[in-house]
Structure 1
Amino acid sequence: MKPVNIQANANELYLDCNATTPVLPEIIKAVSHTMETVFGNPSSSHITGLRARYILDTTRQLARKVIGLQSGRLIFTSGATEGIQTAVVSAIYAAMQVEPTERKSCLLYGATEHKAVPQALAHWNQLLGLNAELVAIPVDKDGLLDTQFISEHVKDAAMICTMAVNNETGVVQDLKELEHVIRQHNADVPWMVDCVQVLGKKSLNLDETTIDYAPFSGHKLYGPKGIGFMAVRDSAPYTPLIIGGGQESGQRSGTENLPGIAALNALFELLLDENSTRFQSEATLQSYRSQLVDSLTCAFPSIVFNHDLKRSVPTTLNFSVGGVASRDIMDVFDACQIRVSSGSACSSKVTKSFVLDAMGLEEWRSGSAIRLSFGPATQQSEINEACVRIKQASDALRDSCLIVADTNNDNDFQLDGVVQLKYDDHCCYLVIDRKAKEIAVIDPHPALAGRIENIVNCQGYRVKAVVSTVAESAMSESVELLAPILIPLRSNDEYDVFGWSREIEQCDVVPVKCEGSVSGCISIGERCLFRIGSRNPFYILSESAAFKSRVHSDFLFTGTEVSKQAYECFVSEETLICPGRDPEHHIAYTSCELRGDCGVDDEVNIPIGDTDEFWHREDLLIIDVRERQEHVLSDIPCCAEVINVPLTEVIQFIQTNRHLRGRDIICLCRSGNRSQVVANVLKRHGFNSRHLLGGLALLQSPAA
């Protein structure tokens, strides 16, 4: 395997600074200098060690100036997570030192805290045996902590954990008000404040507060990963998390990360230099945010911002777009080389934002939220470019009918046949006849209703049916709500619980084996959709209506397992079985998979280091599995044939392109996740398919 040489993308516009930040050139220089020249161990007594000690000591002094801490401990850590663990261990161990009957009964934390906090509390609470109740402090619709709740519970708390600035919404807590409430009702309770997102955005003076523990992280403000620090008040209980070696005056053992500490040194000097122009003023950052808000509002008319901008730091925007999933926005932003994040960014399932849930926002906002965050060192030129690309992304979504507007250019006009839409592991199917401009909808999920309505309205389809395979389900409820919108003048009284018309048209079909099992059919252009059975129905689709004597099943749609009757009567070797739920990303099953006698288990991965053939083999077929709005925004510079087969259209591709089974196929996408799914699916259906491990994010042309 060839080594991977990952190159920077010069066009990348990074707007995910709340997750991490690039390292500033001044900081890189300080790290490099320290690694090359001042590489000594700060604990050594010779000259090289003393030079290292000088960096350690001066950085600690600078840190105290930045956060306003003259007294108390200031300890270098590996990052905020270590600082949080140290604070929690210290507080819980102190709580264990009193008689069991006198121990405090709860551990308080904000409902919108970073997950590191409640998970640390749960872990050490159990491990150390305090066995206190973990209690989440509610927040209001603006994300502010409920001070009345705190006043009622803090007297019984062994520890209270809050945060200065929320990482998802940028909401700023009123620390003075919190301090007043906390100390009024429990003067001695250990209080930790997560200060990760406040550094460089709001001024701090910890000496003027009674905060006991304040963890910070370097990589959130242009430093490298693996370095952080924490402030500990003199009177706060303290127990070392790491012991053995005596470093940091015995408060945190282990040889100090001197290059990381040198990075903090350079960062603190920039923060303290009144003449430096590296970091923008708060007024400038407010101006940046206003420009982005205007661009986003113009690009997405149905946008809502999920936090009060007046109560948030200016560097964070959290928004949702009505009718558009966060995954769709993420993908098209990524195609435009804009990096943002969403609640589902780290999961293949649809993940709601627990922060927005705690604020009581609607489910669709929580499940489709996007976080855009920039840093204090952002330049006006980056904001200008971001506004241009936001419009490009919006145009691509309009052209693909994800947003309906007068200017749609109909990239989705190519949709024809079976389209699979997914929400979590639920599958919804659209049966489209492009020529006739007709459509049927099978098993619509409520979360997909807006997407389906957009496609219908954008393309001007005539909706022939909206049906479900399962009665008394979210899908049947969605049918009941969606069908009257899509089918004018429809009365629900004319339809059964599955959405099937009681007066449905009958096709001239005589099933060979199962006479009487077909309970009606619908023509969708040249296609025919049949319902089989009435109590637990499934549907079969024939690509052509040019038959008279038997039902030919190209596709079978089932919300549950395929029945024995369906298999015996309607499933052939070429039938594609379309599941109602697909947690393992099978997309479509083959008949041999139903019988259990398939044997495809070949390797489909192509490591990025082994891609020479990608650039030189003209006989390859490259399948870009990204959605059309992503595909049209970026070129794939290779000499092979390139076609676009979005994940949503793979089922139809399999049915209509069996003649390509002899081609050598390489699938690709942005990250390699979707392309791996498609390559595996195609392999199972007899295609000679592989995929590009790591995707376009890592692919470099030979000239790079």
Structure 2
Amino acid sequence: MEIYLDANATTPVLAQARQAALAAMAEDFGNPSSIHSTGLKARALMDAVRQRAQRLLGTGGGKLLFLSGATEGIQTSVLSALSALRARRELGDRGAELLLYGATEHKAVPEALKHWNQLLGLNLDIQAIPVDRDGRHDLDFLRRHAARAGMVCTMAANNETGVISDLDGIEAALAGSTCFWMVDGVQALGKLSLRLAGRRIDYAPFSGHKLYAPKGIGLLYVREAAPFTPLMAGGGQEGSLRSGTENMSGIAALGAVLAALDDGRSFRDPATLERFRARLAEALQQAFPSLVFNAPLPLSLPTTLNFSVPGLSSKILLDLFDAADVRVSGGSACSAAKAQPSFVLQAMGLPDWQTASAVRLSFGPAVDEGFINEACARIRACGEALRDSCMSPGGTPAELGEGITRYVVDGACCWLIADLASRRAVVIDPLPELNERLAQTLLCQGLQLCAVLDTHSHGDHASSADALWAAAIAAGAPLAAVAAACERDALGWPLGQTQLSLGQQTLRRLALPGHTADSCAYLLSDAASESAVRVAFVGDTVMPGALGRSDFLVSEPLQFADSLRRLADAIGPQTLLAPGHDYDNRFATTLSAEAAAQPLLAGVLNGSLDAEAFAARKAALEQGLALTEYQTLACGARQDACAAAPQELDPAGLRVLLQQQPETIVIDVREPYEQRLSLTPDFDGRLRTPLLAMPLSRLINALPEWLALPAETPLVFFCRSGNRSAQAAAALRRLGHDAAYTLNGGLALWPQPSDALEGALYV
């Protein structure tokens, strides 16, 4: 059963609302503008819903329009207010200089202000109203600027944090101002009493789908005597204020929801909702002991929790919850795909780690005790899965993560090499954001940290190696204090040693000056055959699609070409390279793959470019490099920016492939904590060998074996949504295995047992 905890994004449609919508389509389907009996019935239905809404919202003499939703309501409000400001200006009134909006407003508000301000030629100064640490508006700022404001836009309650605005305080701050005031009431509908006519609010948009009505229906309150300019002109519906034939099924459904607010049975009262939230908060704290809430609960809606967990990104948490069939979000659904830190939490002044790892949990007022019980159980199960995967304190791992694990932060890669037999581990290119997580992993798996190595010194920041040692010692990782006391050079290599032993593996260092004067690679080999390098950790010397830039003060551009030749001599063309940065999620590469994609590298390796010519051409590439998409310094000029497109399979296509090529290998790239929480289909029972679990973070361990397979052997990758499996398949194709596929849409679109293709089973 799905536990849906993303109600601030949208809600399911209430049963009564579905019935009302179907009845409107089947029986009361008339056009409310028609004057015959069928049309009059539709008009009566619409009028009844409007009257109920007017009473519940306390609109008094104000108008209440039906429209498509909050975005249209915001656009209409801003257009109306700014049109009135332009009319005032034409009459000589130049008092309005500012358009103000809350810094935590939904993006629809500042975008609407910017759009209509430009289109109407007002060119007023648009400013964000600061908020405090609690997420509430700075009333002193409002008082200082109210006299010059033409329009002020604030929320009744924030969609990400649930923080309730001090509307009375805002109204008092606007005293004496002639500005127009819009209040976004979307999250308040059914949860707060707004008393619209009792305040000087000029406009208030609402959206039905946030409270169990279908998408595509909303309301807009317009205060009596407030100026109004129609956004939609045409047939004159809604008293010529919003033209277009009314959405009768949506209006009927919204009416059923509003009626449910009155019946005393369908929705929980505020006290019950606060009790539900408290139980969810307790379950979260039990699952994630270090969790912090990002907004004060007493100032927030009783249906919203926003939290962060130190050391865990929002992506990890979202994948974790989704694996347990618990739907939460990282913030506003409208910006979720951009995967950026929460601008709402940034405006509140929260530290970067909180804004980048925030998760929003929200439920609707129609949930019941049984739903909350199951939600709490699933949340606790998520905590157990993390502990058993060594990502949270207190776990007992079911298996050790032997081999190489990759961690990525904003395109920068950190590598953990762990040996099961010797319980020894090495970290390469540490990142400060990962210190606590790595320390926890070492402790949980009983690993002795032998070395923390950088592949080069950093011109713009200090290495985080010392901080990682400190975190490992503080966590109680085995022998970390003893190993930390050993003398090391500037890159962390133990003095006096030519190699590091990791059980049956050895790690050697190869100097590669170029990116920096001290750049090097670490070569991982089997102890029995040191010349056969399995993986070369090359830092930023060679990256997928790029060579490390050499225009820093600490670079050695004239030595770069010789270093590349030295690397080729040491490892050959097909040895896997583990980079220090991987901006396009290609995981690993080889000199062969890079020479095919990068003419500069090919020229050096085939002898057609000498050191000076290589350095000159490389310098030209590196002129004016822009910041990365993560707003970090680009560590190389990309010459191959396009990843090989994976081949996509739908469930039917996978069935055909399994029938025709039974040697197909199907690979689950989800992380262990996800695999522990969710069911996996057996793909119609057609797999002759067990499903292979190879988490994306450990993909590099399996690449040599897969690349050695016959070229025609199909590899089919799947994950939760299809995104990570597409990355894995594209990486294989780029490295030369063309028969690499991704299951399009992942498990999210795989047929469930009730609607699966014939023979599909879940295990």
TM-score (norm 1): 0.90
Aligned to 2:281: 293
Identical aligned residues as a percent: 43
Spell out the pairing of 1:447-596 with structure 2 (5 A cutoff): 447-472=433-458, 476-486=462-472, 487-488=480-481, 494-501=487-494, 503-506=495-498, 521-533=499-511, 535-547=517-529, 550=531, 552=533, 554-560=535-541, 561=547, 563-571=560-568, 572-596=572-596
Opposite residue 483 of structure 1, the aligned amino acid is W
Question: Does the aligned pair in 2 maintain the 1:552–1:570 contact within 8 Å?
Answer: no
Deviation string, structure 1 residues 33-89 (Cα, Å, up to 9, x no partner): 111222222222222222222222111111101101121211111110111111111
Shift of residue 101, structure 1, vs aligned partner = 7.4
Partner SS state of residue 247, structure 1: coil
| Pairing of 1:643-662 with structure 2 (within 5 A) | 643-661=692-710, 662=712
Q: 1:95 aligns with which of 68, 72, 85?
A: 85
The answer on whether the counterparts of 1:224 and 1:260 sit within 8 Å (CA) in structure 2 is yes
Q: Distance in 2 between matches of 1:394 and 1:603?
A: 34
Query: Which residue of the other structure, out of 116, 140, 147, is the alignment partner of 1:148?
Result: 140
When structure 1 is superposed on structure 2, of 672-681 and 93-102 the one drifting more is 93-102
Equivalences for 1:174-185 in 2 at 5 Å?
Answer: 174-182=166-174, 184-185=175-176
1:702 corresponding residue in structure 2:
757
- Corresponding residue SS for 2:464: helix
What code does the residue aligned with 2:71 have? T
**Structure 2 partner of 1:633:** 677
User: Which residue in the other structure is 1:328 paired with?
Assistant: 316
For 2:411, the aligned partner's letter is D
Change beyond 3 A, Cα 1:331–1:79 = same
Number of equivalent positions: 671
Residues 625-649 of structure 1 deviation map (CA, whole Å, 9 limit, x = unaligned): 1001111222323221311111101
1:256 counterpart residue number: 246
Match of 2:49 among 48, 56, 59: 59
Shift of 1:552: 3.0
Preserved contact between residue 150 and residue 179 of structure 2 (Cα < 8 Å): yes
Matches for 1:18-167 after TM superposition, within 5 Å: 18-97=8-87, 98-99=89-90, 102-167=94-159
Name 1:7's counterpart in structure 2: none
Inter-partner Cα distance in structure 1 for 2:484 and 2:691: 46
Distance 1:87 1:81, change over 3 A: same
Kindly provide the amino acid, as one letter, of the partner of residue 105 in structure 1: E
Task: Determine if the alignment matches structure 1 residue 689 to structure 2 residue 740.
Answer: yes
Query: Is 1:432 aligned with 2:418?
Result: yes
* Pairwise CA distance, 1:494: 4.4
Aligned partners of 1:443 and 1:467 also within 8 Å = yes
2:428 to 431, 442, 447: 442
TM-score by length of 2: 0.84
> For residues 350 and 81 of structure 1, do their structure 2 counterparts lie closer, same or farther at Cα, with a shift above 3 Å needed?
closer
- Residue segments in structure 2 that go unaligned for 5+ positions in a row: 473-479, 542-546, 549-559, 599-641
Cα distance in 1 for partners of 2:388, 2:332 equals 24
Aligned residue type for 1:372: L
Instruction: Please say if residues 135 and 163 of structure 2, whose CA atoms lie closer than 8 Å, have aligned partners that are also in contact.
Output: yes
2:704 is aligned with 1:667: no
- Paired amino acid for 2:438: I
Deviation per residue, 1:250-271 (Å, 9 max, x gap): 1111111111111111111111
Deviation readout 1:576-617 (Å, 9 max, x if unpaired): 222222222111123233112699956511134534347767
Q: Structure 1 residue 343: deviation in Å?
A: 4.3
What is the rounded CA distance, in whole Å, between the counterparts of 1:491 and 1:336 in structure 2? 39
Q: Give how far 1:453 is off.
A: 1.4
* Correspondence for 1:4: none
SS in 1 for 2:526: coil
TM-align CA RMSD: 2.4
Counterparts of 1:394-433 in structure 2, within 5 Å, are 394-405=383-394, 408-411=395-398, 413=400, 415-433=401-419
2:396 aligned partner, one-letter code: N
Instruction: Give 1:524's aligned amino acid.
Output: L
The answer to whether the Cα contact below 8 Å between 1:305 and 1:319 also exists between their aligned partners in 2 is yes
SS of structure 2 residue aligned to 1:388: helix
**2 CA distance for matches of 1:330 and 1:473?**
34
Aligned-partner Cα distance in 1 for 2:644–2:458? 38
Moved more, 466-475 or 60-69: 466-475
d(CA) in 2 for partners of 1:495 and 1:133?
57
Alignment of 1:325-364 (within 5 A): 325-343=313-331, 351-364=340-353
